[in-house]
Amino acid sequence: MIETILNFLNQKEVIQATVVIGSMGLFLIGLFGLLTQRHFIKLFISIEIMEVSIFLLFIGLSFQRGLTAPMLGDGIKTFTNMNDPIPHAMILTAIVIGMAVLALGVSMAIEYHKLTGITDVDKMNRLRN
Amino acid sequence: MSSIYFIALPLLFGFAVPILSKIGKDGVAYTSLAMQTLLTLLSITLALKLDSPIVEVIAIAPPLGIALVVDSVSILFVTLFTSLTLATSIYYMGGRDKIKYKNENKFFILLNMLLASAIGLVLSSDIFNIYVFFEIAGISAYILASYNKTPEALEAGLKYLITGAMASIFLVFAIALIYLHLGTLNLALISQNFNTLSGEIQLLIATLLLIGFGFKVEIFPLNFWVSDIYEGSTSLVNGLFSSIVSKAYLFVFFHILYLLLPHHSFTNFLIYLGVVSLIIAEIVALRQRNIKRLFAYSSLGQLALLFIAFSIQTTDSIYAGLYIILAHSLAKMVIFLSISYISDRYGSEDIEIFSTLNSPFLKWVLVISMLSLLGMPLFAGFVGKFLLLKTLGGMGSYGVVGAILFASLIEAIYYFKLIGMLFNSRERGESINISPTQKSILSALAIAVILFGVAPFIISDWLNVASEAMINSHIYQNIILGVKI
C-alpha cells in the first residue's frame, strides 16, 4: 500500500503538478498580501513571498529525479547524469538581488518612519495633490 | 576597442572611490567627469567607424558565455546615454559652488552605476543578464530618487522600489518560463525557437514581459506612480530618469518583443494601450500646478507616443520612434536641468516660477525645448512626430492619427500657457545668472534640438540602418549565431 503511494508520488508528472500548484498557491498568497496589507514591512514580506514562489517553481520544474549535483572531481570528468546547473545559478543571483532590494526598501521605510512616524502606504500622501 | 569598457569602467569607478577620495577634495568628481568624457568620445568614435556589428563573448566555459552586441541601434543608445550623463555631470559641476549634494561621492557612484546598467541593458544579448542590469538600474534609480532623504524624497523612493520589485517578479517569471520551455537564455536562440512553442505559452510569456517592463516603460495602467517619483526627486535626477532610464527600458522591451513575436497581433493591442496612455497623460497634465509633476506627465505622454511608434513594427515607424527618442531626451534634459536651477533659486516648484523667471537665456532654451516637445517645425520633435503621423496615415489608421493630433492640441494648451507665463508677466523676480559652464551645456543641447530639426539628413543614414537592425530579427540572429563561441 505505502509502496504504491510512494511510487505514485515519485512520478515526474505528480512532482511537477505539486510544484506548480504549490508555488502558484504561494504566489497567490503573496499577491493577496500585496493587495490587502498596507504596512510597509508586511508589503515587503508579501513581495518576497511572491518572489520565492517563482524561484520554487523554476527550481522545482527544472530539477529531475535521479540526477546528481553538477560537480566534477573525484574521478568524475564529464557532465553526464547531472542536473542542469543554470537554473540554480540564476536563482542564486536572483535571491541575492531580491535580498538587496528588500534591505534597501526596509532601510528606506525605517528612515521614512523616523521622519514622519508613518508605517502605512496609504497614509504616504505628501506627493498627492 | 572592446565594448565591455562601457559597462566595466563606470562600475570600477565605484570601487575606486575610496582610493580616489584620498587624492584631494575634488578627486572623485573630476575622475568621474574624465571617465564619462572618455566614454562619450569612445562611443562617438565607435559609432562613426562601425561598419559591421561587433559581438563580444565573455566566455566562461563553452557553451556558457555572455555576449554583448554592438550594432547600429545599440550604439545609438550608448552614445545618447554617455553624452547625456556627461551633460548632467558637467552641469552639476558648473553649479557646484551653489548647489552641492550631501555625500557627493555617493552621488557620483550612483550616477555611474545608472550609466553602466543602462548601457548593459541595451548591449546585452542574454535575457538573464538583462534581468541583472534591469535590477542594477532599478536599485541605483531608487537610491537616486530618495537621495535628499526628505520625507518627500523617501516617499518617492519607496513607491519606486515597491513598483520596481513587482516588475522584477514578473520579469523573473517570464525568464523562468522561457528557460523551462526553450532551455536557453540567449536572445538569438530564443528568437529562433520561440515559434515552436504553443500559442498560449507565447502569449503568457509576452504578457508577463509586458507587465514586468510595463512598470518601467511607464505605460497605462502601470504608470500611476511615475508623477510622484518625479515630484519627490530632484530635477537633476528627473532628467536622468526621463532621458536615460525610461529610454533604456523601452528599447529593451521592444527589442525583446520584436525578437520573440515579430509581426504578431499582440502588438495591435499595444497600439491602443499607447493611445489610451497618451490621452490620459496629456489630459492629467493640464491641471498640474507643480512644475516637475507637469513635465512628468508630459514625459508619460511622449513615452506613450513612442509606445505607439514602436508597436506599429515597420521600419518607418521605428525610424520615427528613434527620432522621437532623440528629440525627447535632448529636450527633457534641457528642461529638467533648467528647472533644477530655477526652482532652487526661487525656492518654489509651482508653475508660477515661470512667470517670475528673470533670465533671457533660460527663457529661450526652455522655449526651444518646449516647442520641440510640442512638435513645431524647425525643431527635432517635429520630424519624429511628422514621420510617425505619415506612417500611420499611410496605413490608414486615421483613428490613431486623430488621437495623436488631439493629444498634441492638449499639449499645445499647457505648453503655450507656460510660454505665455515666461514672456507676458508684469512682475519679475530677481535676475539670475547661470554659470558659463551650465550655459554652454544648455546651449549645446538646445542647438542639437534645432540641428536635428532643420537638418534631419545628418543622421538619417544611421537611423535607417538602426531601424532595420532593430526590427529584423534575422539580422540579430545572424550577428550572434554567426559567431563561434
> What is the DSSP annotation of B99-130?
S--TTHHHHHHHHHHHHHHHHHHHHB-BHHHH
- For residue A41, being part of any structural domain is answered with yes
- B289: nearest CA in chain A? A129
Asked if A112 and B154 come within 8 Å (Cβ–Cβ), the reply is: yes
* All residues at 6 or more sequence positions from B84 whose CB lies less than 8 Å from its CB, including other chains: B239, B240, B243, B244, B329, B330, B333
Q: Is B146 on the interface with A (CB under 8 A)?
A: yes
Q: How far is CA B141 from CA B34, B85, B115, B135, B224, in A?
A: 23, 14, 11, 10, 17
C-alpha cell at A64: 529531475
In percent, the amount of chain B with pLDDT more than 70 equals 97
**SS3 letters for A107-127?**
HHHHHHHHHHCCCEHHHCCCC
Is residue B270 within 8 Å of residue B371, measured between CB atoms? no
Residues B109-118, buried b or exposed e (16+ Cβ, 10 A)?
Answer: bbbbbbbbbb
Least confident of B50-54, B258-262, B378-382, B456-460: B50-54
pLDDT value at position B116? 93
Q: Is B61 on the interface with A (CB under 8 A)?
A: no
- B164: nearest CA in chain A? A101
The confidence band for B40, taking pLDDT boundaries of 50, 70 and 90, is: very high
- For residue A46, being part of any structural domain is answered with yes
To the nearest whole Å, the CA of B77 is away from the closest chain A CA by 26
- For residue A129, being part of any structural domain is answered with no
Burial class (CB in 10 A: 0-12, 13-18, 19+), A93: middle
Q: Which residues of A touch B158 (CB under 8 A)?
A: 40, 105, 108-109, 112, 121, 124
Residue B224 belongs to what domain range? Answer: 5-481
Establish whether the linkage from the previous residue to B456 is cis, with ω within 30° of 0: no
pLDDT value at position B485? 43
Instruction: Kindly state the DSSP code that residue B431 receives in the 8-state scheme.
Output: -
Q: Which residues of A touch B (CB under 8 A)?
A: 34, 40, 43, 47, 50-51, 54-55, 57-58, 61-62, 84, 86-87, 90, 93-94, 97-98, 100-102, 104-105, 108-109, 111-112, 115-116, 121, 124, 126-129
Least confident of A18-22, A60-64, B135-139, B142-146: A60-64
CATH classification at residue A59: 1.10.287.3510
Segment B125-139 mean pLDDT = 91
The CA distance from A7 to A27, in Å, is 28
The CA distance from B246 to B250, in Å, is 6
Is residue B116 within 8 Å of residue B67, measured between CB atoms? no
Residue A17 belongs to what domain range? Answer: 2-65+85-122
Element (H, E) at B12: helix B5-20
Is residue B46 within 8 Å of residue B1, measured between CB atoms? yes
- For residue A23, being part of any structural domain is answered with yes
Query: DSSP for B339-376?
Result: HHHHHHHHT--BTTHHHH---HHHHHHHHHHHHHHHT-
Asked if A94 and B131 come within 8 Å (Cβ–Cβ), the reply is: yes
Segment B260-275 mean pLDDT = 84
To the nearest whole Å, the CA of A97 is away from the closest chain B CA by 7
Q: Is B152 on the interface with A (CB under 8 A)?
A: yes
The CA distance from B174 to B3, in Å, is 28
- For residue A56, being part of any structural domain is answered with yes
Of B154 and B431, the structure prediction assigns the larger pLDDT to B154
C-alpha cell at B69: 552586441
Q: Looking at the 3D structure of chain B, how many domains does it have?
A: 1
* Per-residue pLDDT tens digits for B313-365: 888 889 999 999 999 999 999 999 999 888 888 888 888 888 888 788 888 89
Is residue B233 within 8 Å of residue B70, measured between CB atoms? no
The confidence band for B484, taking pLDDT boundaries of 50, 70 and 90, is: very low
Q: Which of A43, A101, A107, A110 to mutate to test the interface with B (most CBs of B within 10 A)?
A: A101
The confidence band for A104, taking pLDDT boundaries of 50, 70 and 90, is: very high
Q: Looking at the 3D structure of chain A, how many domains does it have?
A: 1
* Per-residue pLDDT tens digits for B185-201: 888 888 888 888 888 89
To the nearest whole Å, the CA of B162 is away from the closest chain A CA by 8
Asked if B139 and A127 come within 8 Å (Cβ–Cβ), the reply is: no
Whether the predicted pLDDT of A52 surpasses 90: yes
Element (H, E) at B60: strand B54-61
The CA distance from B278 to B284, in Å, is 10
SS3 assignment, position B68: strand
